[in-house]
Amino acid sequence: MHKTAFAELLSSFWALTPQQLAQLGTAVRNSERRVEVVPALDARCGEEASRGCPRCALSKRCRWGHTRTGAQRWRCDYCGATCSGLTGTPIAGIRRPDLYIDLVRNMMEAEKPWSYRKAVEKLGISRHTTWRWRMAIIRLLPGERTGAMSGIVGADEGQQRESRKASREWVRY
Ligand SMILES: [Zn+2]
């Protein structure tokens, strides 16, 4: 956000009602959770940057600003392709990666993972999205749960295609 716009935003807080302040608090907490996810993804992409461009593999990537979620964006010198730590993961294109991570953690780490219905209720997102996320995570579930988080974040393209196919199949029935 631009500095001036942010200053205006801050100065508008005095006019809020107690109820609006509570809503603002919730929005801030959601944003904080989203921001927490970013460093892990950045670290992963930083490692991969030394391996070269994912599209042409011809050149090294250099830093190229930040994405809307605040993650480092990279750009290939040769073909101009841009990517972030999210590219090529099931989280790419997900607007609420924090909720996705919540679901991953629940499915991998909770003693009693949520049922599908419970997940819809807890995450507060659509039933279809919840189902797609669950399918994607199930595809990635390793035999043992240890180190599962790195498996999710590091998922490859093939696994993504699998989960898309699975969600299409679900739509059909
Ligand atoms: Zn390239």
pLDDT in tens, 125-161: 999 989 888 887 776 665 444 344 444 444 433 444 4
Q: Is residue 2 part of a domain?
A: no
Q: Is 52 left (phi over 0), alpha (psi -120 to 50) or beta?
A: left
Q: How many domains does the chain have?
A: 2
Cα(56) to ligand 1 centroid in Å equals 4
Give the pLDDT score at 145: 44
Co-location of 64 and 97 in the same domain: no
Residue 121 has a pLDDT of 93
Q: Is residue 24 part of a domain?
A: no
How far apart, in whole angstroms, are the C-alpha atoms of residue 90 and residue 37?
A: 14
**Which token pair is 131?**
């189902």
Full-model pTM: 0.42
Report CA(55)–ligand 1 centroid distance (Å): 5
- Tell me, in angstroms, the distance from the centre of ligand 1 to residue 160's CA: 21
Q: What pLDDT, on a 0 to 100 scale, did the predictor assign at position 122?
A: 92
Q: What is the pLDDT of residues 56-98, one digit of tens each?
A: 777 677 788 877 667 778 888 888 888 776 666 656 667 777 7
Tell me the two tokens of residue 70: 């605040």
Does one domain contain both 64 and 134? no
Domain range enclosing 126: 89-173
Residues 148 and 116 in one domain: yes
* Alpha carbons 151 and 41: distance in angstroms, whole number: 12
